[in-house]
Amino acid sequence: MRKFPAQYNLQDNDVLYFSHIPKTAGMTFRTIVEDHFHSEEICPATLNAQLAKMPKEEIGKYRLFRGHLGFINLPELVPGKQIVNVTVLREPVARVISHYEYIRRMPGDPHYPAVKDMTLEEFSQKLTAGKVGKNIQTYHVAKTLRFDLDGLTPTEILEIAKESLDQFAFVGLVERFQDSLFLLSYIFGWKPILNSRKENAAKSKKSESELSASTLEVIQENTQLDHELYHYAREIFESRYEDMIQDLAKQYGNQNGSETNLSEPADPRVLWLDQHYQQRYADLHRPAPKSLLYDFREPLRGAGWQRRECPANHPAYRWMGPTTVSSLDLPIATDLSTDLMAEFRIICAELMPPDILQSLKMAVNGHPIQLDLLHSDQGTRFFQGIVPQSALKPTPFTEFSFQVDRVTSLNALNPLDPDTRSVGLAFNYIQVFPVNTRQKQSALAPFFECESWKNTIEFLNAHVPTTEPLIAPLIFKIKLEHEIHDHSTFLAANTTSQWVVVHKGKTDRIGSILFKLMSKGFSPVFANDVFVVYATRSDLPTVSYTAPHVKPLYVDYLKRQVSGVVKPLYRKYIAPKPQVKK
Whether the predicted pLDDT of 206 surpasses 50 = yes
Residue 184 belongs to domain with CATH number: 3.40.50.300
Establish if 7 belongs to a structural domain: no
Looking at the fold, whether 524 and 428 belong to one and the same domain comes out as no
Q: How many domains does the chain have?
A: 3
Whether the predicted pLDDT of 375 surpasses 80 = yes
pLDDT at residue 196, rounded to an integer: 79
Residue 349 belongs to domain with CATH number: 2.60.120.260
pLDDT at residue 128, rounded to an integer: 73
pLDDT at residue 204, rounded to an integer: 59
User: d(Cα 393, Cα 137) in Å, to the nearest integer?
Assistant: 47
Q: Do residues 456 and 462 make contact, with C-beta atoms less than 8 angstroms apart?
A: no
Looking at the fold, whether 429 and 455 belong to one and the same domain comes out as no
Looking at the fold, whether 422 and 452 belong to one and the same domain comes out as no
Percent of the chain whose predicted confidence (pLDDT) is above 90:
75
User: d(Cα 19, Cα 68) in Å, to the nearest integer?
Assistant: 7
Looking at per-residue confidence, does 507 or 322 come out higher? 322
Looking at the fold, whether 73 and 219 belong to one and the same domain comes out as yes
Instruction: Decide which of 376, 402, 434 is a domain's last residue.
Output: 434
- Could you give phi then psi for residue 540, rounded to 5 degrees? -110, 140
Whether the predicted pLDDT of 396 surpasses 60 = yes
Which of 100-104, 185-189, 565-569 is the most confident on average?
A: 185-189
Looking at the fold, whether 455 and 419 belong to one and the same domain comes out as no
User: d(Cα 270, Cα 274) in Å, to the nearest integer?
Assistant: 6
Per-residue confidence at 227, pLDDT binned at 50, 70, 90? very high
Whether the predicted pLDDT of 473 surpasses 80 = yes
Label residue 8 exposed, middle or buried (CB < 10 Å: 0-12, 13-18, 19+): middle
Whether the predicted pLDDT of 102 surpasses 60 = yes
Q: Do residues 328 and 400 make contact, with C-beta atoms less than 8 angstroms apart?
A: yes
Whether the predicted pLDDT of 199 surpasses 50 = yes
Strand ordering across the sheet containing 325-330? 302-303, 325-330, 398-403, 361-364, 367-369
Whether the predicted pLDDT of 311 surpasses 70 = yes
DSSP conformation class of 194 = -
For CA atoms 29, 34, 36, 42, the dihedral sign is: positive
Establish if 91 belongs to a structural domain: yes
Whether the predicted pLDDT of 465 surpasses 90 = yes
Rounded mean pLDDT of 180-195?
97
Looking at the fold, whether 396 and 539 belong to one and the same domain comes out as no
Whether the predicted pLDDT of 259 surpasses 70 = no
Label residue 384 exposed, middle or buried (CB < 10 Å: 0-12, 13-18, 19+): buried
Residue 363 host element (H or E): strand 361-364
Whether the predicted pLDDT of 210 surpasses 90 = no
DSSP conformation class of 305 = B
Identity at 514, one-letter amino acid code: L
User: Could you write out the three-class secondary structure of 232-248?
Assistant: HHHHHHHHHHHHHHHHH
Establish if 578 belongs to a structural domain: no
Percent of the chain whose predicted confidence (pLDDT) is above 70:
91
**pTM of the predicted model over 0.85:** yes
pLDDT at residue 202, rounded to an integer: 60
Establish if 69 belongs to a structural domain: yes
Looking at the fold, whether 502 and 390 belong to one and the same domain comes out as no
Cα–Cα separations (whole angstroms), residue 397 to 129, 292, 365, 379: 47, 12, 9, 31
DSSP conformation class of 287 = P
Looking at the fold, whether 418 and 509 belong to one and the same domain comes out as no
Exposure string for 359-377, b = 16+ CB within 10 A, e = fewer: ebbbbbbeeebebbbbbbe
pLDDT at residue 582, rounded to an integer: 53
pLDDT at residue 579, rounded to an integer: 64
Helix, coil or strand: residue 385: strand
Q: How do residues 539-574 score in pLDDT, each as one tens digit?
A: 999 999 999 999 988 886 776 665 554 456 446 555
User: Could you write out the three-class secondary structure of 490-506?
Assistant: HHHCCCCCCEEEEECCC
Establish if 388 belongs to a structural domain: yes
Q: Going along 182-312, which residue ranges are E strands?
A: 292-295, 302-303
Per-residue confidence at 578, pLDDT binned at 50, 70, 90? low
Looking at the fold, whether 240 and 302 belong to one and the same domain comes out as no
Looking at the fold, whether 246 and 328 belong to one and the same domain comes out as no
pLDDT at residue 570, rounded to an integer: 47
Looking at the fold, whether 152 and 37 belong to one and the same domain comes out as yes
pLDDT at residue 256, rounded to an integer: 60
Instruction: Decide which of 411, 434, 457 is a domain's last residue.
Output: 434
Instruction: Decide which of 434, 461, 482 is a domain's last residue.
Output: 434
Mean pLDDT across the chain: 91
CA dihedral 282→285→291→293, nearest 10 degrees, is -70
Domain that holds residue 52: 14-95+126-200+215-252
Per-residue confidence at 260, pLDDT binned at 50, 70, 90? low
Rounded mean pLDDT of 139-166?
95
Range with the poorest average pLDDT among 6-10, 201-205, 563-567: 563-567
Rounded mean pLDDT of 413-429?
96
DSSP 538-560: SSSPPPPTTSTTTHHHHHHHHHH
Looking at the fold, whether 540 and 394 belong to one and the same domain comes out as no
Whether the predicted pLDDT of 452 surpasses 70 = yes
Rounded mean pLDDT of 210-236?
93
Establish if 440 belongs to a structural domain: no
Whether the predicted pLDDT of 225 surpasses 50 = yes
pLDDT at residue 546, rounded to an integer: 92
Residue 522 belongs to domain with CATH number: 3.40.50
DSSP conformation class of 323 = S
Establish if 112 belongs to a structural domain: no
Rounded mean pLDDT of 378-397?
95
pLDDT at residue 185, rounded to an integer: 98
Per-residue confidence at 109, pLDDT binned at 50, 70, 90? confident
Whether the predicted pLDDT of 177 surpasses 70 = yes
pLDDT at residue 565, rounded to an integer: 47
Whether the predicted pLDDT of 233 surpasses 80 = yes
pLDDT at residue 566, rounded to an integer: 46
pLDDT at residue 567, rounded to an integer: 55
Establish if 384 belongs to a structural domain: yes
